[in-house]
Amino acid sequence: MSLRHRWSVALGSLCCWAILCTIHAQETTQGPSLFAKEARLKDKNALTRTGARRTAVVAAIERVKGAVVNIHSERLAPGGGTDLFPLPAAPRKPMNGMGTGIIIDPRGYIVTNQHVVDDVTALRIRLADGTSQNAVVVARHPELDLAIIKIEPRAALPVMPIGTASDLMIGETVIAIGNAYGYEHTVSAGVVSAIKRDVSLNDAMAYKSLIQTDASINPGNSGGPLVNINGELVGVNVAIRAGAQGIGFAIPVDHMVQSVAAMLKARRRSSTYDGLVCRDILQKSSDGLVRKVIVDRIDASSPAESAGLNTGDVILQVGTVKVDSGIDVERGLLDCRNGDSVAFVVRRGDKEKRVKLALASGDRQVRPASVSDIVWQKIGLQLSPVGGDLVTRINRQLHGGLEVTNINPGGVAARAGIRKGDILVGLHSWETVNVDNVNYVLNHPDLPTFNPVPFFIVRSGQIRQGKLAMLPN
C-alpha cells in the first residue's frame, strides 16, 4: 500500500469519526424528542407503504387462492408390446406428474385439463390449507381438453368466481396461479397478449380461440386459473409455446362453462330429468359484461313445463345455489333424485317468481332398440367400422375395428380415457369388428365377473389398453 493510499484511508476514518461526533452532539443537544419524532414518522411511512403495496393484484389473489388446488398424479410408463392380447410382462414403472385444478363446487368438484388426468393410475389433490386427498375422474371432454375430478372434503370448499373472456382487452392485466414445476400455488402476472389464437400441438391435438398471455405459465400450471384484476376466472391455462418466453395459452372461461355444464348434466341424465334447456348470456353493466342464465327451451309435458317455467325466464337460484352460470344450475340439481322437488327462483320481466320443479326419472322415455343406441346408452360411444388394412398393418392378429365417431363427455368410455378418433379393436377377450361384437360383450351374462372390462384401442399407430368401469343396471 502506498503512503498516499494509506493516508486516504485514514482520512476516511477521521471523517467518519467526525460525523459520529456530530450526531452524538445533536443527540445531547436535542434530547430524546428528535428520535421520538423520527420513530413516529417511520411508523406513518410504514403504514403508507403497506397500503400502497396492497394492490389490486394482491386483492385478486386473496379472493381466489383458496379455490385453486395442486394436482399430483401417477401413471405407468408406456409399455413396449404391441400384441392385442399380450403375455404377462414385467411391471411398468410409475411416472409422477403434476397439474392444477379449479374448485367449481363446495362438495369437491374440480375442473382441470384432460391431459393432466389422462391415463393416470392415482390422483392426489393438495388444497390451499395444506391438506391432501385422493381424487377420482368423473367426466372428461377430450376435444376441449377439460375434465372434472372429485374429492370428498371434510368441509365446504371455496369456489372460484366465474367471469367472462368475451370482453378481454389486449394489454389487460391477468394473473396465473398454479403448481408450476411442483412449486405449489405459484403466482405470476402479465397481460393479455392476444385473443382468439388457434394453436396446434400435433396432428391429434389442436385448440381453437385461445387466450394468449405473457404471464409465466410452466409445466404444472395446466388446468389452473387465469384470472382478471377483479379475481374472476377468465381462462383455464392449457399450453405454452416450447422454446419461447412469455407465450402461454388459456381456454376461454366461456368455453369451459359450456363444457362443464354439459358434462355435469350428462352425469345425472340417467337418473333425473327436468326438461329444461338453459343458456348463458352476457349483459352489459357499469363494470363490464355480467353473466346470466336464461331458460332457452322447455320440453313439452316435462317437469319444467308442469312447474310453470317459461322460455326467457332468468334463473336466479336453483335449490340453495345462487345461479351465475350454467354450471350453477347443474350444481343445484347434482345430488337430487327422481321425485325430488327443487325450488327455482326466476325473474320474469321485472318480477321474481318462485316455483317447485319435481324431477322425473331419467329413463322416462322409451329405451332405444337399436344396437348402436344401446352402446351409446351403456358406454357413451358412437362407432363406425373401419377397413381391416388400417389395423392389420399395426398388428397382424387384428381383422378390423370400430372408429370412435362421437363420445359422450360424461359416459363410461370418456371416463376411461377413450377419445374421438380412436379405433376400438377389442373388449375383454373378443375382437370388435362390428357394433354387434360390442353389444355381445356389454350384455354378456358373465359381465360382472370381468368388470371393469379391458379394452384395446389403436391411437397414433400404437395399441393402447385400459378398462371400462361398467355401471350396474
pLDDT band at 437 (very low <50, low <70, confident <90, very high): confident
Looking up cell 413516529, which residue turns up? 40
Query: Which three-class secondary structure state does DSSP give residue 458?
Result: strand
Query: Residue 202: what pLDDT?
Result: 67
Which region among 172-186, 303-317, 379-393 has the lowest average model confidence (pLDDT)? 379-393
| Whether pLDDT at 27 is above 80 | no
| Whether pLDDT at 12 is above 90 | no
Which region among 95-109, 177-191, 280-294 has the lowest average model confidence (pLDDT)? 280-294
User: What would the mean pLDDT of 160-174 be, rounded to a whole number?
Assistant: 95
Taking alpha carbons only, the member of 402, 365, 397 closest to residue 382 is 402
Looking up cell 388446468, which residue turns up? 223
Burial class (CB in 10 A: 0-12, 13-18, 19+), 209: middle
| Whether pLDDT at 4 is above 60 | no
Contacts of 65 (CB under 8 A, 6+ apart): 128, 177, 185
* Count, residues in the chain: 473
pLDDT band at 324 (very low <50, low <70, confident <90, very high): very high
Encode pLDDT of 62-78 as tens digits: 999 999 999 999 876 65
pLDDT band at 24 (very low <50, low <70, confident <90, very high): very low
Taking alpha carbons only, the member of 355, 420, 348 closest to residue 383 is 420
Encode pLDDT of 79-128 as tens digits: 544 444 444 444 556 678 899 999 999 999 999 999 999 888 889 999 99
Query: Residue 79: what pLDDT?
Result: 53
Query: Which three-class secondary structure state does DSSP give residue 65?
Result: helix
- Phi/psi at 288 (nearest 5 deg)? 95, -155
Query: Residue 38: what pLDDT?
Result: 57
Q: How far is CA 3 from CA 7, 129, 265, 412, 438, in A?
A: 6, 65, 89, 89, 98
pTM, two decimals, is 0.67
Q: How would you classify the pairing of strands 183-200 and 132-134?
A: unpaired
Burial class (CB in 10 A: 0-12, 13-18, 19+), 406: exposed
- CATH 2.30.42.10 occupies which residues in the chain? 273-361, 371-468
The x, y and z cell numbers of residue 454, run together, are: 379391458
According to CATH, what is the number of the domain 273-361? 2.30.42.10
Percent of the chain with pLDDT over 90: 49
Mean pLDDT score across all residues of the chain = 83
- Give me the active site residues, please: 115, 145, 222
Query: Residue 400: what pLDDT?
Result: 83
Query: Residue 34: what pLDDT?
Result: 52
Higher pLDDT, 445 or 210: 210
pLDDT band at 42 (very low <50, low <70, confident <90, very high): low
Instruction: Find the helix packing angle between 253-268 and 326-333, rounded to 10°.
Output: 20
CA distance 308 to 163: 30
| Whether pLDDT at 252 is above 50 | yes
Contacts of 235 (CB under 8 A, 6+ apart): 165, 174, 211, 213, 225, 226, 250, 251, 252, 253, 256
Encode pLDDT of 218-243 as tens digits: 999 999 999 999 999 999 999 888 77
Percent of the chain with pLDDT over 70: 82
Query: Which three-class secondary structure state does DSSP give residue 106?
Result: coil
Does residue 227 contact residue 60 with C-beta atoms inside 8 Å? yes
CATH classification (class only), 55-268: mainly beta
Torsion of CA 231, 236, 241, 246, to 10 degrees: 0
Contacts of 238 (CB under 8 A, 6+ apart): 113, 145, 207, 210, 222, 223, 249, 250, 251
Query: Residue 81: what pLDDT?
Result: 46
CATH classification (class only), 371-468: mainly beta
